[in-house]
Chains A and B, each alone.
Chain A
Amino acid sequence: MAAKKFGRSTIKFTNPPIIVGTGTVVGPMEGKGPLASDFDVVLPDHAYGERTPERSETKILEQAAKIAIERAKIDKSMVDYYMAGDLLNQIISAGYSARQLSIPYFGLYGACSTCAMSLALAGMVIDGGFADYVLIACSSHYQTAERQYRYPIELNIQRKTTSQYTVTGAGAAVLASSGTGPKVTWATTGKVVDLGSKDVNDMGGAMAPAAADTLLTHFGDTGRGPGDYDLILTGDLASFGSEMLKELVKDNGVELGDNYRDCGLMLFDTKSQRVGAGGSGCACSAVVTFGHVLREMERGTYRNVLLIATGALMSPLSCQQGESIPCIAHAVVIEA
């Protein structure tokens, strides 16, 4: 019997990993948003001095990782594992950033759920006694994502009402077996949920059922409810997806109130900034959580936060072949 497992798919850490340092780097659009002052670096442009957007994304990810290590006040050589992921084919940003960092590396792919996924996995590694320091990081980039998933950057395309804007940026955190800082206490691993949505212009709507499934599983496994958290945070459901999530959990008797928010909506002023329904991408939940939410926890605004990062596990190829979009959501609890 797994002593740390509760219910269907939730674990409780007996030695909760502590977030001892974070680093966030964001692009120009995010820098104009309402959370700008909470980020470590705001870039003036998407290029970051590199000749391709892919190189720029790698550099952003490396930069966030380096800041996190610096903030943790440790040496790079003390980090046992580096776990990272991004949205690009073969997760090249993560792989290339690991080449520079030269820390034993696990590449992760969970699409936009990577942030919560890496927090959970790093927590297991630390709680299992396999590491003292684990560096986690994930990134996304508006231009690289557009190129891979949609159209050339300069193409004249009108956004649909439910389209989302891929966040340029990266968030990184150092988790440690001891130290001071917020702790990761619980993790609920999501399962792949696919309710048959095929609309690539509506990721929020496609991912909402996965978020609902993980949220309800988490509440079922832990015996908790929405009132037990100061903040319930989804990764990148944006305006339409959040609305769908509320509907879906309401059918199961769970009411999400004012303590529910979505990173994709917090990061931008969706009225004045042209970001469609809101932000998306691996970096969306990472920069909002590591940049804004953890700082707010330090300030005492929140004491316990439930983060549910959602990811769509399709590829442009599978969509062109008419497949529906399989989605996943992982949840972690962060307590001050």
Chain B
Amino acid sequence: MTSQKAKKQVSNLPHMTQASQEEKRRQLAYKELLQKKRPRPRYLRNVLVAFVVGGAIAVLGQLVLRFFMSRGLDLDAASAPTLAVMILVGVIATGLGIYDELGEFAGAGAAVPITGFANTIVAAAMDFKREGWVLGMGAKMFIIAGPVIVYASLAGIVVAFIKFITSP
């Protein structure tokens, strides 16, 4: 009770409100200045490079898929080993210190394919290994990939539920 009353009194003091209004005004003005002056990312370059690099990774995946299919697997059966191979490629490239360079160069082109997902796990594992196998690597290797898994699962449940209630 008393604290609420005190709060009210403080906010009623005219010089306090003026000072905080002044502060708010300065903050807003600076925010506007920052937005106006901040250098824009090179959108066109980034989109093009992401398209080419992401596409190249997808083409590599397609070649691997074709290889497994040519060895007698059907499309469904060939998907799993293809993913495994692409994950392995991402893992090895991360271990060799190449994938972060590719990410810096290609942005989403390197992050979106499954090789990028493998990179998030291996990069975290390599980093946190120094704090031990259990509390370091074991606990923290999904620090980047974890949210993806959580919300992908959640999205899957939601979509499945929508399908369940809308299908006759």
Enumerate chain A interface residues (CB-CB to B < 8 A): 51-52, 147, 151-162, 195-197, 202, 205, 209, 239-240, 243-244, 247, 274
Given contact pairs A158-B46, A161-B39, A161-B41, A152 touches B127 in the complex (Cβ within 8 A): yes
**Contact of A244 with B33 in the complex, beta carbons under 8 Å:** yes
Is B34 on the interface with A (CB-CB < 8 A)? yes
Number of B residues near A (Cβ < 8 Å) is: 36
Q: Mark B11-27, 1 if CB is under 8 A from A, else 0.
A: 00000000000000011
How far apart are the CA atoms of A239 and B128 in the complex, in Å? 33
Is there contact, CB below 8 Å, between A156 and B104? Answer: yes
Q: Is the CB of A162 within 8 A of B104?
A: no
For chain B, what secondary structure do more than half of its interface residues adopt (helix, strand, loop), or is it mixed? helix
Within 8 A of A (CB), among B93-142: 94, 97, 99-100, 102-107, 110-111, 116, 119-120, 122-124, 126-128, 130
- Given A155-B124, A156-B123, A158-B46, 20 more A-B residue pairs with CB atoms under 8 Å apart are A147-B127, A151-B123, A152-B127, A152-B128, A152-B143, A152-B144, A154-B127, A155-B100, A155-B120, A156-B116, A156-B119, A157-B103, A158-B103, A158-B104, A197-B30, A197-B31, A240-B37, A240-B38, A240-B39, A274-B104
Interface SS majority for chain A: loop
On chain A, the residues within 8 Å of B119 by CB distance are: 154-156
Bound Cα distance from A274 to B106, whole angstroms:
14
Give the residues in chain A near B37, CB-CB below 8 Å.
240, 243-244, 247
CB-based nearest A residue for B96: A154
Asked if B5 is at the interface of the complex by the 8 Å CB criterion, the answer is no
Q: Are A152 and B39 in contact (CB under 8 A)?
A: no
Asked if A152 and B123 make an inter-chain contact with CB atoms under 8 angstroms apart, the answer reads yes
State how many angstroms separate the Cβ of A314 from the closest Cβ of chain B.
16
Residues of B contacting A247 in the complex (Cβ-Cβ under 8 angstroms): 33, 37
B40 touching A161, Cβ below 8 Å:
yes
For A154, give the chain B residue with the smallest CB separation: B123
Complex CA gap A248/B127 in Å reads: 40
On whether A156 and B34 interact (CB within 8 A), knowing A147-B127, A195-B27, the answer reads no
| Nearest CB in chain A to that of B111: its residue | A156
